[in-house]
Amino acid sequence: MLIEVILGLFIVLFYFLVIKPLVPMIKLKLQFGNDCLMKYHFFGGELWQQLKEMKISKDLIKRPRDLYINHPYKIFVSNFLWKIKISVADPEYYKVMLHNHQYYSKVNNINHDNLIQKGLVFSMGEKWKSQRTVLSESFEYDQLKSRLPMINEVCLEKINQICGDNVLEFLELITGQVVIRSFFGNSAEGIKINKKQIQIEIADLLNDMGELRLKSKYFFIKRFFLGTKGWKFFPTKIEKELLQRVYEVRLTIEKLIQKRIVEIEIKMDENENDVKQRDPDFLDVLIKEYLKQKQKGVQKITIDDILQQFITLFFAGTDTTAVLSYHCLYFLALYPEIQQEIREEVMTVCKNEMVLDDKIKKLHKLTAFINEVLRVKNPALRLLLRNCDQTHQVKDLTIKKGWNVIVDYQFQCFLSKHFSNPENFDYKRWLEAEPIKENHQFVYLPFSAGPRNCIGQHMAQMEAKIILSQILRQFQININPNVDPRWTARFLYQLQPGNCVQLQKL
């Protein structure tokens, strides 16, 4: 009897760990031949290698990038236990995928339901459409242009207050303050959580939670088998501390929202027309929609929806632009001659303190430089894992329900067939009429493409240009010789630690 039980367990394990993942992988290899790279791991060896590299590698993406350069595949199929993971790197395939986003749900990096899961990045279907519609007006060109004086004011104000050597945190203070003034008005001004400015704590919290997924085998296994319930299953000390921070963030923001609801309700009772004519910030837009639905008795938006959208917008607006600007500062420090060339352009074009729209359009070298940084060290590189929700066809590739999918559109930037000497950092390539060879509009996608491309891409670029211009006007940017830089994954792919560069007053 015991032998039969053991034999039965062996057969079940053999099916789930060998037959179930290996059969579809072999089918793909037979179908695509050399265009398919296949790596089978009995116990998910690729993951363990990635966890190891997270701790010792100076560049987490170097191995997969080199693998692709040496074997430019259309698809790369691997597995973790019985779960299939397919990476798609051919533009003709991922073009179709990015335009048909309805087949995929994004896997939340932080594996937590109560922070950003209901926000614009991870929402799906009609909820995503309505959120995108509400937000889109805030990112129209005229709206962005009207914010430029404010962005300059914030930069100059923070630059004059700079202290300490954590440049990344300094940049987060700038970008976070821009988000506050752009979307939340006085509602979030001066708020601190866990003794940090709200923008710093939200960025730090989500980055710490994102980094945990690749630092702890124990946490990864819990996540794989238990999903978000893994936080409650024998939590470590670090997990308990993170959950307490989640509680503090949610509590503070919910109090802010409830206070604003009361203020708006009072104003609506006193003078409804005055409220309608007011130019509301984003928080007000959400709250008014919530109150309107409440009056009609059809509650599609909840307090929790508002809270998570608040965190999403705060984090996306703060962290991505700050990290991009930080990467730019690092390369300016790495190449002093380039730094001087771009500083001269800034000083020539921007003769006064305000870097406004007419000046931004003339900063050709700075624009080219940012394009090159995005080519070689894009913060969104391999950012999000997708889960296939419905079996469907992408050209001649069948992607099955339940498979994990990665869209590797960044790898095209490392191929010599698209860029001359792609291993070299050369911003001047972007000053040429045709910087990309064999370009079919899906080679260089720094902000993704399709309906779910980055809604804030133009604001991020304008903001980064202003931040870099204002810093270049006042500071020499140098490499910090006392730190060992590494390119790692937190929520984003980013340079760490936060003091890899130093700012020296001119």
Inside any domain, residue 113: no
CB 235 within 8 A of CB 269: no
* Max CA separation in the chain (angstroms): 88
Inside any domain, residue 68: yes
pLDDT tens track for 60-86: 888 889 889 999 999 999 998 889 999
> What pLDDT score does 51 carry?
66
CB 429 within 8 A of CB 419: yes
Return the residue matching tokens 């397919």.
Answer: 86
pLDDT tens track for 7-64: 888 888 888 888 899 999 999 999 999 999 999 988 766 666 766 766 677 888 888 8
User: Pairing mode, if any, of strands 196-197 and 386-388?
Assistant: unpaired
Check residue 107 and report its DSSP letter. P
Confidence of residue 269 (pLDDT cuts 50, 70, 90): low
pLDDT tens track for 121-162: 999 998 899 888 888 888 888 888 889 999 999 999 998 888
Inside any domain, residue 371: no
CB 495 within 8 A of CB 330: yes
Concatenating the DSSP letter of every residue in 315-374 gives HIIIIIHHHHHHHHHHHHHH-HHHHHHHHHHHHHH--SS---HHHHTT-HHHHHHHHHHH
Give the whole-angstrom CA distance, residue 254 versus residue 115.
Answer: 12
Structure tokens at 134: 């509400």
Report the amino acid identity of residue 147. R
What is the number of other CB atoms lying within 10 angstroms of the CB of residue 297? 6
**Owning domain of residue 434:** 1-106+381-445
Average pLDDT over residues 88-105: 94
Residue 467 has pLDDT above 90, yes or no: yes
Return the residue matching tokens 């066809």.
Answer: 393
Confidence of residue 463 (pLDDT cuts 50, 70, 90): very high
Least confident of 23-27, 254-258, 349-353: 349-353
3-state SS of the chain: helix, strand, coil percent to 5? 60, 10, 30
pLDDT tens track for 306-335: 999 999 988 998 999 999 999 999 999 999
Structure tokens at 419: 């860029």
Length of the chain: 506
Residue 263 has pLDDT above 60, yes or no: yes
Least confident of 168-182, 285-299, 359-373, 443-457: 285-299
State whether residue 296 is helix, strand or coil.
Answer: helix
Average pLDDT over residues 241-266: 91
For residue 226, give the H/E element and its range: helix 217-226
State whether residue 125 is helix, strand or coil.
Answer: helix
Inside any domain, residue 346: no
Residue 276 has pLDDT above 70, yes or no: no
Residues 426, 431, 437, 439: is their CA dihedral positive or negative?
positive
Give the whole-angstrom CA distance, residue 40 versus residue 60.
Answer: 21
Residue 4 has pLDDT above 90, yes or no: no
Percent residues over pLDDT 70 in the chain = 95
Percent residues over pLDDT 90 in the chain = 58
Residue 270 has pLDDT above 80, yes or no: no
Q: How many domains does one find in the chain?
A: 1
Inside any domain, residue 150: no
Inside any domain, residue 398: yes
pLDDT tens track for 365-416: 999 999 999 999 999 887 778 999 999 999 999 999 999 999 999 999 999 9
Residue 481 has pLDDT above 60, yes or no: yes
Phi, psi of 159 (to 5 degrees): -60, -40
Inside any domain, residue 169: no
> What pLDDT score does 272 carry?
55
Give the whole-angstrom CA distance, residue 400 versus residue 23.
Answer: 13
> What pLDDT score does 280 carry?
55
CB 15 within 8 A of CB 55: no
> What pLDDT score does 394 carry?
96
> What pLDDT score does 187 carry?
73
> What pLDDT score does 45 carry?
62
Give the whole-angstrom CA distance, residue 357 versus residue 351.
Answer: 14
| More confident site: 380 or 360 | 360
Q: What angle do CA 63, 64, 65 make, to 5 degrees?
A: 90
Residue 301 has pLDDT above 60, yes or no: yes
> What pLDDT score does 226 carry?
84
State whether residue 153 is helix, strand or coil.
Answer: helix
Return the residue matching tokens 């100076």.
Answer: 58
**Average pLDDT score, the chain:** 89
For residue 145, give the H/E element and its range: helix 141-159
Confidence of residue 277 (pLDDT cuts 50, 70, 90): very low
pTM: 0.92
Give the whole-angstrom CA distance, residue 87 versus residue 242.
Answer: 31
- Which residue in 203, 86, 169 sits closest to 490, CA to CA? 203
Inside any domain, residue 417: yes
Phi, psi of 503 (to 5 degrees): -105, 120
Q: Please classify residue 105 by burial: count the beta carbons closer than 10 Å to its beta carbon, then call 0-12 exposed, 13-18 middle and 19+ buried.
A: middle
Provide the CATH number for the domain around residue 417.
3.30.43.20
